[in-house]
Amino acid sequence: MEKIKSNEQFSGIYRSSDDIENFCLRITLKKIYSIIRVPKFESTQTSFEDQQSTTDFEEVLSVNWQQKVFSKTEKAFYSQKENCTTDLAKRYHQIIKDSRGNDSNNLLFTYIDQDNYEPADKFGSQNITRPKIKRNPSRSFLQANEKNRSLFLDHNQANDSKEFETEKDFVKMFVMADLDPSTLLVSIKYRKSDGLLIIFPDFNDLSNGYYLEIDQNSKQMFVYFIENLSLSSNNVTNQRVLKVEMNKLHKETNELIQKLSVSRNENFELPKFGRVVIMLEIIKGLNFEFDNIHVRFKFEIPKWLKVIEGSLSASTHSSFRKGECWNFGYCHSLVLDFDDEFVLSKSEVEILNLTFELISIDPLLGRERREGITSIKIPLTTPLNENYYTLTCFRDIQGNSKLTDFFERFFLGGIHKILDKTLMSSPIDKVVNYYGNQTISTGELCIKIQKIEQLRSSKRSKSHFETIDKIINSYHEAKAQLEK
Amino acid sequence: MAEVFIIGQILKAVNFCEPNLFVCWNIQAGSLWKVVEGESKGQTATDRNRIDLVSVFAHPIDLHLATRGLQGWPKFNVEVYSVNALKQYHPVGFGFAYIPSTPGYHNLSITTWKISPVTVLDSIKEKFFTGGFTIVKKDLIYSGVERYKILTISSGIVEVNLNLIFKNFRKYDIIFNRT
């Protein structure tokens, strides 16, 4: 046989540093038939289920600070509109009216401060004269700090402390059981000025309940437990921070989704025909003779190509050397539209010719000298093998003699007398170098070329097939020639 | 829309004569392009280390771009500044390069230049007082007619490592260099 522990009841006094709105308690009321627990036969352990089996009634109520829970009598009273004359009564009537349909015959109910309930029994305020001080750091809601310790000790020593007599400063709340007669289970008082909270009886745990004996026609026994469900200030702060962060994240995500949804709606620009973008970077020049060099360049394109963006000729800035290197770091882009059907139907590969001319300018007298010319051919539709090119440059010798060339360049400057075309493009009338000019190698020009094509899908797939067909045909032709 | 993800870092600046360097960078693109996420411009820390004329920055870049067309392909623009003992800074290098048009890893070496003093007096001022000349209109760095009239001096190189991811370009029948 197991004896029940003593049913001592004490007040709990706590000091709250955070908002009282975070206060929450849970009351569990159970009906019992004996205060002595009888273990079952051949059972050595008494589990919670076993304990439950000895009770046929259990009610649990979780309430926040100043949360109104109506009793059966109150519900019946306030549901009649005629009874409600005060503002509070009218508010209660509205609440009961709104919550109609959720009728339940609960035993537990509450009185809040506005109800002006004054207990007349032993739990009344007058009895809280010798409170038991509890300082439990594990209790999350209320933590008495060292600063308040002296205050609590003073209260403990004083039998009739003025601290607890000034009832008007306290906001009250009572949790009742709707038994016959109505019985006060818990009284809670809170003083906002210093965060003092008094609860009677104090919180307990499920292993050590408070017993209640109702002596009417028949004797009824109840046990109830008071649990603290309040959030700690840290938890509350973390939750608030988390809430703010979540809201921020939600807003940002929505903005991003909106932005992305806009982007999805925007269609990519599809040209009517084929389009090619040529991106030229003139990186640097190496090993030239005179200083203050700039590069002039020019695209030569077939007439049926249409320039959409960019210019066909331009020049870089003038650059002074650093060692034997002239940095340009210049970018130029050209967007061209073309009839891809026409281009792909042609047997030969279309080529763009890009010519460069490097010119140095005398900073004092402004004399121009050609430092070198070079060119590169860019296929229009076939991919480039590489991006970076180092182009070797050359220039014509003036007067076809190195000596005269030197003096002329030094004193007069090297004015370019002949067109670039005659030196770099395809031979005219099968005559190479019509004027019989002599040339000399000069420096090097480092460039980077990138090419992006956009063809109509049907044409692109067709072009691949055509290329394969061409290869097979060429193979057959070559084989036939070898056999001959 | 087609999308480009640019992930990488401004690794270092090499061969600059000036000490205490930092780099202001930005990625410029045409009107058809827009930034979906990430920063399209920034500034590195000032590096005081001058071993073998190398200033290491290891400054991260993470950008997501979306485009409605091929025009205005993005360019990586760098401006290198030097800080003197009086905490005054002046430009020592301007340079830019196209973002590569193929996906994958790329190592860009952006050659830079700075504005050259025109007269001897300007040279003396540059050496002892102001530190260097800058451009009043920033767009002159990458545009302008008769650019040859802008006198510049070759400066160092800024090395940038980039990893590129391209999305939806194939859907719009776009062929890159090596595809």
- Integer Cα distance of A195 and A81 in angstroms: 38
Asked if pLDDT for residue A163 goes beyond 70, the answer is no
Asked if the structure places residue B164 within a domain, the reply is yes
- Residue that has been written with the tokens 């609440």 in this structure: A95
Taking an 8 Å cut-off on Cβ atoms, the answer to whether B155 and A327 are in contact is: yes
- Which A positions 262-321 lie with beta carbon below 8 A of chain B? 263-264, 266-270, 275, 277, 279, 281, 283-284, 292, 294, 296, 308-309, 314-321
> In this structure, is the dihedral angle defined by the CA atoms of residues A136, A142, A148 and A150, taken in order, positive or negative?
negative
Asked if the structure places residue B82 within a domain, the reply is yes
Cα-only R_g, chain A: 49
> Where are the strands (E) in A380-418, listed by range?
388-396
What does the pLDDT read at residue B89?
86
Taking an 8 Å cut-off on Cβ atoms, the answer to whether B69 and A294 are in contact is: no
One DSSP character per residue, A446-457 reads EEEEEEEEE--H
Give the global pTM: 0.56
The residue that leads in pLDDT, B48 or A233, is: B48
The residue that leads in pLDDT, A418 or A34, is: A34
Look at A114-118, B52-56, B127-131 and tell me which has the smallest mean pLDDT.
B127-131
Q: What's the total number of domains in chain B?
A: 1
- Which A positions 347-386 lie with beta carbon below 8 A of chain B? 359, 361, 363, 383-384
Asked if the structure places residue B179 within a domain, the reply is no
What does the pLDDT read at residue A38?
55
Classify A75 in phi/psi space as left (phi over 0), alpha (psi -120 to 50) or beta: alpha
Residues of B in contact with A384 (CB under 8 A): 177-178
Best residue of A319, A328, A344, A371 to probe chain B, by most B CBs closer than 10 Å? A319
Express each pLDDT in A303-342 by its tens digit. 888 888 888 888 898 888 888 889 888 889 898 888 777 7
CATH number of the domain at B87, please: 2.60.40.150
Taking an 8 Å cut-off on Cβ atoms, the answer to whether A320 and B152 are in contact is: yes
Per-residue pLDDT band at A135 (split at 50, 70, 90): very low
Best residue of A328, A388, A452, A467 to probe chain B, by most B CBs closer than 10 Å? A452
Asked if pLDDT for residue A427 goes beyond 90, the answer is no
Mean model confidence pLDDT for chain A: 75
Give yes or no for A259 touching B (CB within 8 A).
yes
State the first-to-last Cα distance of chain A, in angstroms, to the nearest integer: 118
What does the pLDDT read at residue A464?
52
- Integer Cα distance of A143 and A234 in angstroms: 12
- Integer Cα distance of A456 and A272 in angstroms: 8
Taking an 8 Å cut-off on Cβ atoms, the answer to whether A329 and B96 are in contact is: yes
**Residue B105's domain spans which residues?**
2-172
Asked if the structure places residue B72 within a domain, the reply is yes
Work out the burial of residue B72: count CB atoms within 10 Å of its CB; fewer than 13 is exposed, 13-18 middle, 19 or more buried.
middle
Asked if the structure places residue B99 within a domain, the reply is yes
- Integer Cα distance of A476 and A324 in angstroms: 53
Mean pLDDT for A217-238 is 78
What does the pLDDT read at residue B58?
92
Shortest CA gap A112–chain B (Å) = 54
What does the pLDDT read at residue A128?
40
Strand partners, B164: B6, B104
The residue that leads in pLDDT, A205 or A112, is: A112
What does the pLDDT read at residue B147?
80
Question: Which domains are seen in chain A, by residue range?
Answer: 2-69+106-236 (no CATH), 275-427+434-458 (2.60.40.150)
Taking an 8 Å cut-off on Cβ atoms, the answer to whether B98 and A450 are in contact is: yes
Nearest CA in chain A to B78: A329
Mean pLDDT for A421-450 is 72
Give yes or no for B14 touching A (CB within 8 A).
no
What is residue A66's DSSP assignment? Answer: T
> Where are the strands (E) in A229-350, listed by range?
274-286, 293-300, 306-309, 313-315, 318-320, 325-338
Of the candidates A109, A108, A111, A140, the residue with the CA atom closest to the CA atom of residue A228: A140
Name A110's Cβ contacts closer than 8 Å, sequence gap at least 6.
Answer: A63, A67, A68, A69, A173, A174, A175, A176
What does the pLDDT read at residue A144?
39
Look at A38-47, A173-182, B67-76 and tell me which has the smallest mean pLDDT.
A38-47
> In this structure, is the dihedral angle defined by the CA atoms of residues A45, A47, A49 and A50, taken in order, positive or negative?
positive
- Integer Cα distance of A288 and A395 in angstroms: 11
Give yes or no for A460 touching B (CB within 8 A).
yes
Residues of A in contact with B146 (CB under 8 A): 315
Asked if pLDDT for residue B108 goes beyond 60, the answer is yes
Give yes or no for B76 touching A (CB within 8 A).
no
Q: How many CA atoms lie within 13 A of A262 on its CB side?
A: 10
Per-residue pLDDT band at A426 (split at 50, 70, 90): low
Distance of CA A79 to the CA centre of its chain: 50
The residue that leads in pLDDT, A460 or A456, is: A456
Give yes or no for B150 touching A (CB within 8 A).
yes
Per-residue pLDDT band at A153 (split at 50, 70, 90): very low
ipTM of the complex: 0.89
The residue that leads in pLDDT, A261 or A469, is: A469
Express each pLDDT in A117-128 by its tens digit. 888 654 444 444
Cα-only R_g, chain B: 18
Mean pLDDT for A247-253 is 87
Asked if pLDDT for residue A446 goes beyond 80, the answer is yes
Instruction: Record the tokens describing residue A133, joined without a space.
Output: 């001080």
Per-residue pLDDT band at A479 (split at 50, 70, 90): confident
Residues of B in contact with A460 (CB under 8 A): 173, 175
Nearest to B153 among A269, A322, A328 (CB): A322
Mean pLDDT for A21-36 is 82
Per-residue pLDDT band at A383 (split at 50, 70, 90): confident
Asked if pLDDT for residue A302 goes beyond 80, the answer is yes
> In this structure, is the dihedral angle defined by the CA atoms of residues A29, A34, A38 and A41, taken in order, positive or negative?
negative
What does the pLDDT read at residue A447?
92
Instruction: Record the tokens describing residue B162, joined without a space.
Output: 């980039």
Mean pLDDT for A442-449 is 91
Give yes or no for A344 touching B (CB within 8 A).
no
A15 C-beta neighbours (distance < 10 Å), count:
18
Give yes or no for A24 touching B (CB within 8 A).
no
Of the candidates A335, A313, A453, A298, the residue with the CA atom closest to the CA atom of residue B72: A335
